[in-house]
Each structure stands twice: as structure tokens, then as C-alpha cells.
């Protein structure tokens, strides 16, 4: 893997603004460029309030009980997501890939993840209130790795567990560090996927049921760093 220079989670200015808006029983810390909750625990209601109050450009997640800052996407990251959105619009018009979709994940829906994209029927989420939707009826989520130092733990470990525990059938991970795609499928309640084959950019991939979509990934070579 080529990790290169990794960005911190957030700036000091953004942390100070967020800390000043935190619910009264939530004390935040900022250590070595990372955001923490003092005591390493935050209630779901307090997290949701904190996420609503976050400064512009700061998107918070709660993954496996840990407060996370989702990094801002760079242009190649955005291009990958848009490529997928256009593919599904053309080939599967009855479905939509919703970018940056908030989902309740993990055991008992106690985690909150902002997926880079979530596949669902058209208008699937309009009946749900708030920023965090129930993942029921979502056949696939997509994450594209970012150029930050926490992507390994977040996208390759914590979100695998969270999406599996939520019962999301397919998790597609597009890994820009090694130009591969991993297709996680057949989730278990223990927080694992029974299948996780990995493919290089350029492969033709059969996304399994209930997605049932043939994905030609040759275009991803244009977005390789």
C-alpha cells in the first residue's frame, strides 16, 4: 500500500468551534490531530446533537462506539463516486446511489455512518425523518478510501463490522491505496462478512444478490493516484 502523507482528522479551529457547541455533558479532546470524547463514551442522542452542530465541512460519524471525523473527499474521490452514480442511473434506473447517506449501523443501530454512497430504490429515504436512516432495504453501501491516516481502521475494519451487524447485504470498498475493490457479502450478526473477494482495478466484477450487477472497473484506472 502507498499511504503517503496523511491528513489529520480536522483543524484546530474546527475543533474549538465544535467543542464550544458540544452538548453540556459531552467533553471533547483533540490529541495528535484526532477528535476524542473524554471518557470514550457518548450517548446516541448527544452524538446526533453534536453532529447537527458541527462546523460547515465537518461530518461526524459514530463507528463501533468511537467518534469519527469523516474526511472531506478530494477530487479523485468525488470522481469515483460520480462514476458509480452514473453507471447505476444508466443501467438500473429503478435504483439510485445516494451520496453521503447517513445510516444507522452496528449492533442495535447504535452506530451512525455516513456512507460515501448507499444503493436503494428511488425515493427510498423520503419517508424517514432526521439525518440518519434505517438501513433496512439498502442492498449495498460503498466506501472509497480517503487520504487520511485513519482510513485503514475506519473503512477496512470498523465499517466492515458496522455494516455487517446492520445486515447490509453488500459492502463495496474501493481502495485507492492499492487500486483494488473488495466485495463484502453474506453478513453475519457477529459483525463479519462471509465473503470478501478482492479484485484489481480493471476487473469485471459480479456484484452478488440482491444487487445483481456486472461492474466493469476499467474506468477506475483513470482515477488511480
pLDDT in tens, 62-76: 988 889 899 889 999
Query: What is the 3-class SS of 29-89, one letter each residue?
Result: EEECCEEEECCCCCCHHHHHHHHHHCCCCCEEEEECCEEEEECCCCHHHHHHHHHHHHHHH
Listed by start position, the domains of the chain span 12-70, 75-223
Provide the pLDDT for residue 10: 81
Residue 68 phi/psi, 5-degree rounding, is -125, 150
What pTM does this model have?
0.91
Mean pLDDT of 46-58: 94
The span from the CA of 115 to the CA of 102, in Å, is 6
Per CATH, is 75-223 categorized as 3.90.1570.10? yes
Indicate the burial class of 137 (C-beta count within 10 angstroms; 0-12, 13-18, 19 or more).
exposed
The pLDDT > 90 percentage for the chain reads 77
Percent of the chain with pLDDT over 70: 96
pLDDT of residue 8: 54
Kindly tell me if the per-residue pLDDT of 119 is higher than 90.
Answer: yes
Average pLDDT, rounded, for the chain:
92
Of 137 and 2, which is predicted with more confidence?
A: 137
**N- to C-terminal Cα distance for the chain?**
12
- pLDDT-derived band at 132 (thresholds 50, 70, 90) equals very high
pLDDT digits (tens, 9 = 90+) for 3-38: 444 455 688 999 999 999 999 989 999 998 889 999
Please say whether the beta carbons of 171 and 140 come within 8 A: yes
The 3 state secondary structure assigned to 94-157 is CEEEEEEEEEEECHHHCEEEEEEEEEEECCCCCCCCCCCECCCCCCEEEEECCCECCHHHHHHH
Q: Is the pLDDT of residue 107 over 90?
A: no
Amino acid at each position: 500500500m502507498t499511504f503517503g502523507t496523511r491528513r489529520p482528522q480536522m483543524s484546530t479551529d474546527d475543533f474549538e468551534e465544535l467543542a464550544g457547541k458540544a452538548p453540556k455533558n459531552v467533553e471533547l479532546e483533540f490529541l495528535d490531530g484526532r477528535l476524542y470524547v473524554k471518557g470514550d463514551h457518548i450517548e446516541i442522542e448527544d452524538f446526533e446533537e453534536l453532529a447537527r452542530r458541527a462546523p460547515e465541512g465537518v461530518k461526524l460519524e459514530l463507528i463501533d462506539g468511537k467518534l469519527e471525523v469523516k474526511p472531506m473527499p478530494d477530487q479523485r474521490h468525488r470522481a469515483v463516486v460520480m462514476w458509480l452514480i452514473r453507471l447505476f442511473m444508466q443501467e438500473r434506473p429503478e435504483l439510485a446511489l445516494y451520496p453521503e447517506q447517513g445510516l444507522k449501523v452496528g449492533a442495535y443501530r447504535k452506530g451512525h455512518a455516513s456512507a460515501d454512497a448507499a444503493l436503494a430504490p428511488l425515493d427510498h429515504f423520503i419517508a424517514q425523518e432526521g439525518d440518519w436512516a434505517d438501513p433496512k432495504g439498502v442492498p449495498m453501501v460503498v466506501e472509497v478510501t480517503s487520504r487520511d491516516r485513519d482510513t485503514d481502521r475506519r473503512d477496512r475494519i470498523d465499517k466492515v463490522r458496522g455494516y455487517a451487524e446492520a445486515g447490509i447485504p453488500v459492502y463495496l470498498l474501493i481502495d485507492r491505496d492499492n487500486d483494488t475493490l473488495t466485495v463484502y457479502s453474506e453478513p453475519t450478526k457477529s459483525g463479519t462478512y462471509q465473503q470478501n473477494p478482492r479484485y484489481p482495478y480493471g476487473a469485471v466484477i459480479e456484484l452478488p444478490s440482491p444487487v445483481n450487477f456486472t461492474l466493469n472497473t476499467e474506468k477506475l484506472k483513470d482515477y488511480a493516484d
